[in-house]
């Protein structure tokens, strides 16, 4: 019998069948192309309030005090890490009453490092005014998302502090061109419950102390939404909740960094898309499993035989005079 025939007969034996199957599966794992599957994806324009109240350091990351803006960015990093491939995320900033898009939504897996690098560069030095009209800002974020395409949703991080305060609690943003719920997304409130001093910065972004009561407009009393301490800041949660209901957006409080990820991965906001999916790990894992089933028992048997031989050798030596 020729060597090749003996080799073929050996491969065809029942004992070596797992090896043949494992080799076949590993070969499939090497050459298998991406397979197109329908997957749930998401698309967001994430907007950060960069006004001065967002510089209040009443949040905590890894045991260290950080600003509200830094906390919002930390939560966004976690959300970005958990986004499924095929999803798209972009950045925008808010100050005064306008939203300025910085990065239009791009695919998260192919552009992950670029998204993180651009996110790191977002800070308070980007603000162009010290005013903060949250209601108008959110409507501008919705318009910006709608201008990108109908699949883009909104995420808006803010503490909800209007500066100057609204003249009346019933004042609503202009939304004649906005249908509540048409865009969809989240208002995410950032900040503590205790009023805290707001850092003050010069035109170059250098800190110059804190805002005082005489430096800002104070409105309080019946029919006004003011707090009588507008030079201090805390999370204005009722205001954000009412804005969310008015505009058809959900509201979440950023109590932990994973809150943003949980909100952004809401199945109700998912969009099924055909995505090329790498499934090579499936045949590779099956092949390795077959190899383990084939050789692990032999290795265990060889180990047991060596132990028995060693014990016999030791017994023989013990019986010598």
Mind listing the pLDDT tens digit of every residue in the chain (321 residues)? Answer: 554 454 445 445 556 666 667 677 667 666 656 656 568 899 999 999 999 999 999 999 999 999 999 999 999 999 999 999 999 999 999 999 999 999 999 999 999 999 999 999 999 999 999 999 999 999 999 999 999 999 999 999 999 999 998 888 778 898 889 999 899 999 999 999 999 999 999 888 888 999 999 899 888 777 776 678 899 999 999 999 999 999 999 999 999 999 999 999 999 999 887 655 565 656 666 766 766 766 665 544 455 555 545 655 455 544 554
**Could you tell me which residues come within 8 angstroms of residue 47 by beta carbon, excluding any fewer than 6 positions away?**
91, 92, 93, 94, 99, 137, 141, 144, 154, 155, 156, 157
Task: Kindly state the tokens that stand for 34.
Answer: 């991406």
> Strand ranges (DSSP E) for the chain?
35-41, 43-49, 59-61, 64-66, 88-95, 98-107, 153-158, 185-189, 196-197, 199-201, 207-210, 232-233, 250-253, 271-277
Under 8 Å between Cβ of 254 and 264: no
**What integer pLDDT is reported at residue 228 of this predicted model?**
81
Q: Residue 239: name the closest of 153, 95, 132, 114 by CA.
A: 132
**Could you tell me which residues come within 8 angstroms of residue 130 by beta carbon, excluding any fewer than 6 positions away?**
51, 52, 95, 163
**What integer pLDDT is reported at residue 32 of this predicted model?**
58
Under 8 Å between Cβ of 41 and 60: no
**What integer pLDDT is reported at residue 227 of this predicted model?**
76
**What integer pLDDT is reported at residue 112 of this predicted model?**
97
Taking the C-alpha atoms of residue 270 and residue 86, their distance in angstroms, rounded to an integer, is 11
Taking the C-alpha atoms of residue 194 and residue 28, their distance in angstroms, rounded to an integer, is 60
**DSSP single-letter state for residue 256:** S
């Amino acid at each position: 019998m020729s060597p090749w025939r003996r080799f073929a007969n050996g491969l065809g034996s029942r004992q070596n069948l797992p090896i043949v199957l494992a080799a076949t599966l590993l070969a499939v794992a090497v050459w298998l192309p991406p397979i197109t599957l329908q997957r749930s994806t998401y698309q967001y324009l994430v907007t950060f309030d960069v006004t001065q109240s967002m510089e209040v350091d009443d949040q905590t990351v890894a045991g260290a005090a950080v600003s509200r803006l830094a906390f919002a960015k930390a939560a966004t990093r976690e959300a970005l890490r958990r986004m499924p491939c095929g999803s798209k995320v972009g950045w925008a900033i808010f100050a005064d009453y306008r939203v300025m898009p910085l990065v239009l939504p791009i695919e998260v897996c192919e552009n992950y490092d670029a998204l993180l690098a651009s996110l790191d560069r977002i800070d308070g030095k980007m603000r162009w005014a010290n005013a903060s009209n949250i209601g108008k800002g959110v409507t501008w974020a919705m318009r910006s998302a709608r201008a990108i395409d109908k699949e883009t949703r909104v995420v808006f991080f803010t503490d909800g502090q209007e500066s100057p305060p609204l003249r009346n609690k019933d004042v609503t943003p202009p939304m004649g061109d906005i249908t509540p719920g048409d865009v969809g997304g989240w208002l995410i409130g950032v900040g503590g419950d205790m009023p805290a001093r707001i850092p003050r910065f010069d035109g170059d972004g250098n800190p110059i102390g804190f805002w005082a009561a005489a430096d800002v407009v104070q409105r309080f009393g019946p029919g006004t939404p003011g707090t009588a301490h507008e030079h201090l800041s805390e999370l204005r949660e009722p205001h954000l909740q009412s804005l969310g209901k008015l505009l058809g957006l959900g509201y979440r409080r950023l109590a932990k960094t994973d809150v943003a990820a949980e909100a952004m991965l809401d199945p109700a906001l998912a969009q099924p898309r055909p995505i090329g999916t790498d499934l090579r790990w499936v045949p590779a894992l099956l092949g390795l499993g077959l190899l383990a089933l084939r050789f692990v028992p032999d290795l265990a048997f060889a180990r047991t035989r060596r132990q028995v031989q060693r014990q016999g050798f030791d017994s023989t030596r013990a019986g010598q005079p």
